Amino acid sequence: MDAITVIRAKRDRAELTDEQIDWILAAYTDGRVAEEQMAALAMAILLNGMNRREIAHWTQAMIASGERMDFSALTRPTVDKHSTGGVGDKITLPLAPLVAACGAAVPQLSGRGLGHTGGTLDKLESIPGWRARLSNAEMLAVLADAGAVVCAAGDGLAPADRKLYALRDVTGTVESIPLIASSIMSKKIAEGTSALVLDVKCGSGAFMKDFADARELAETMVALGTDHGVATTALITAMDNPLGRTAGNALEVRESVEVLSGGGPDDVRELTLALAREMLAAAGLDGADPADKLADGSALDSWKRMIRAQGGDPDAELPVAKQTHVVTAERAGVLVGMDSFKVGVAAWRLGAGRARKEDAVQAGAGVQWHAVVGDTVKAGQPLFTLHTDTPETFDTALESLAGACEFADEGTEFTRPPLVLDRVA
């Protein structure tokens, strides 16, 4: 077997055989296939696709490239959630401890932000002392103690995906349904969760801009999970407008704690509860009402236990940016749209995200918005506050925000679009 034959096959729209898939992923992981050869194959897959059999086998080969975790010693049922990534998407932060407070064990292996979407680990690292890197034994101990753990995936989990994702990121080959589905699901299946709920984002701030693509991605991932014995469902949720009222690391932690304390923005609370109900049903725990656990303080207690178990101080002051800049509304009207992609890029440019994997992020940087879709705004009223330690980034953030808000005349009737667009099981 050789790499050129496999690349040519996909270039010429042939189906890859199981043997070709096993060989190329094993040879790439141990360095026998060069980065440029894998880049060519990834581009051929992006352009010509893979069928369900190829995707299933590709996923299986990525799982087999590393270790599998085992949570069978836990007494609680395990259930995880994965979001395909959005702007202001801090849902994991309130969701994991909330579902733990309802009786499940939530092993949540998360990633860092790249480009305009934030990363859960970057957000949690704004909490003084909190550690993302845990050994497998530490991860199990936190899970047994706090009921939820959010940490970085260890190097042993799906190493083929780790290498391939970094390569796709710099070769314009991220936006491929077969590659996204196999990348996400290989990690989730290797992680060893019994049940999984996928939050597939759809809209301007998501990988999938239109509904048909989001639905295809959701169906592909649900089928992969189900075939591997993981009880998997997906919600397709709106990502045209950013979630909540903030995008940025410490800013989003603050907002998540508000939700855990029984308040917070309506959309963050609504989506947290919708996903919590899906997760509890998938784990066979539909008896508990997660809304009660937000109201009675038990979800907040779980959060504090989870943060402390990973070295963090949940009561410490969160970092704030050194400089702020307020953007006001140029006209009066009803806010009918806020482009989440533009808001995400602004937060990233202010220092909340990174352009390259090795860049550092600023804990206090980001964007806060003072109006949400459906609000009536007066001219001159504050619309955004920009936060950063590097005020020279204000100009580029402002450029990105230009045209982000769409207004209709005062008095225009406006109904907020639904957050949950569809469910795939």
130 vs 207, which CB is nearer to ligand URA?
A: 207
Q: Is 199 a catalytic residue?
A: no
Residue 417: partners with Cβ closer than 8 Å, 6 or more residues away: 238, 240, 373
Instruction: Return the number of the residue (152 or 180) whose C-beta is nearest ligand URA.
Output: 180
Q: Does the annotation mark 387 as catalytic? A: no
Rounded Cα distance between 329 and 371, Å, is 10
Nearer to ligand URA, 85 or 97 (CB): 85
Q: How far apart are CA 244 and CA 383, in angstroms?
A: 14
161 labelled catalytic: yes
Please give the residues from 158 up to 177 whose contact with ligand URA meets the rule CB under 6 A: 165, 174
Nearer Cβ to ligand URA, position 168 or 349?
A: 168
Among 90, 168, 245, 269, the active-site one is 168
- From the list 65, 83, 176, 183, the catalytic residue is 183
Task: Copy the structure tokens of residue 46.
Answer: 């992006």
Taking CA atoms, 156 is separated from 67, 163, 351, 383, in Å, by 6, 12, 30, 45
58 makes contact with ligand URA (CB under 6 A): no
- Binding of ligand URA by 257 (CB under 6 A): no
Of 18, 87, 92, the residue nearest 55 (C-alpha)? 18
| By the rule CB under 6 A, 180 interacts with ligand URA | yes
- Is 280 in contact with 157 (CB distance < 8 Å)? no
Task: Determine the Cα–Cα distance for residues 393 and 351; give it in Å rounded to an integer.
Answer: 8
Nearer to ligand URA, 184 or 371 (CB): 184
CB of 149 to ligand URA, least distance (A): 18
Task: Check 80, 161, 240, 267 and give the catalytic one.
Answer: 161
Is 82 a catalytic site residue?
yes
- Tell me if 183 contacts ligand URA by CB under 6 A: yes
Please confirm, yes or no, whether 135 is among the known catalytic residues: no
Can you read off the two tokens belonging to residue 108?
């949540």
Distance of CA 142 to the CA centre of its chain: 21
Structure tokens at 345: 């890029």
- The DSSP call for residue 108 is E
Under the binding rule (CB under 6 A), the answer on residue 184 touching ligand URA is yes
Residues forming contacts to ligand URA in the complex (CB under 6 A) are 165, 174, 179-180, 183-184
Instruction: Name the residues annotated as catalytic.
Output: 82, 161, 168, 183, 187
